[in-house]
Structure 1
């Protein structure tokens, strides 16, 4: 719950509290300060530098970076780009390992339609209550065991997180279980990187309290790994809903899975600069796929090697 008015922008003990102060006005402020310092100190750059900021990233980015990518791609095209979606320092075995975002899971919205037959609630046997079918659907999703996948480049670097076992689809859950009690953040990250997720989020249905609902709509949030396309999702949804009559679904692709190469000269620059900033050498690094999505998918689609590290 809010301890300060969400739109207040309250300053207390050196911190600003309000909607978006952390995600992502803090980042934008630091970027603006960096640009100002470059200008004030008359630092000459070998390449061009563009600061681009879209206001609707949290709502899908279609009218910000999506519009720029479609109508003015030249304004946001470069060899490299840096964005949010990484830079977190994970604690493992007494040391810090930095996460460098090289990709993002896909984000899809699945609308599941459930059909029944309306009747008066005083004589429910005369209808088919779509809510009972909804219960079956939700239980199927709850019991769904997503296929385990350790193909991400992230899993090649688990030794940097003090994980000795080579991850496989057979042992990844055991590795995760080893972190559950002492490092929940690590366990959550490993789980998200190793499977697709299907999560019910919104239910719409019914028109009157004394009427059997004849239709229910269930909205699900789905996050896919880079090698899982829409055909794969359809196959998994068909398995989940198999045998339940009166159920259909449609899929809306909000964000396609995307990634950039981890082996570039820009990555070396990021590592070197970070070591200077934190005044430490020999830092450990792990390439990670962000479980959410950002505007990076638009620049990657333009051929820009884009990294999440702020």
Structure 2
């Protein structure tokens, strides 16, 4: 077995701001996992908000290299269960390893992941393109620089509805609004009425994740659907979101990879909830993994590759208002830069 990790700084096309952070660079970890014949690649983006560093993730994975080597020929799901006790509270590192193992597993079986899972590339949801918090002028400029039929608008200011009104003057695209926990229940209910008239599709995580009573009100009184993000981190959170949200946004890094994400999708469906998968500004390595889940989803946010200047990989790409899959097995991701 061969296990390598690479560290990259992804350069963002524009300063990315949300309600609690801004950045120009996105550090990311790439995991290279080989069984001697095939090689798989995985990724997890670091984030100071969750206290996750590239160095820490790399150390966590390498510390169990002997366990990975002893189980390298098992399925990704089996390896996930075996290594899970060593990744408690370290889901980002587990995600990078799990994606690499899925990529390796697909290549060993001679199939892209979606075919390995019995899925077809039909009726795929289109990714939104994210517009971070900025001056209205700069937000308009970002939309004009990247014309797209579906935008996610990051909000969390004192003038959120006014911002959307101004943006609407410059685009007929569908908007999704992500308040990143910045609103109250009253604000959300009132804003939903105004935003519905501005062709907003849904509201993502309007309230702080612990405000369950507020979310009960919003769930019953909002005229727009509400989608959980920070309230839905791990598998145990899906059921907790039922009756509070109309859908969940699953992040591979937060839940620990494709293995738990697929289980979360299945559970959300059983509970009658809409399903979205989001990204953390990964390169095309991480975005490619998300791409194979598309047949299972209602919504997707996989614009990481579109938001960076120096993508380090080829694979599943979003452009021309479509998602394009390479004719390669596994996730289809292929590193084009190495360190």
Larger Rg: 1
What TM-score results when the alignment is normalised by the length of structure 2?
0.23
Higher relative contact order (CA 8 A, sep 6+): 1
Point out the structure with the larger helix share.
2
What TM-score results when the alignment is normalised by the length of structure 1?
0.25
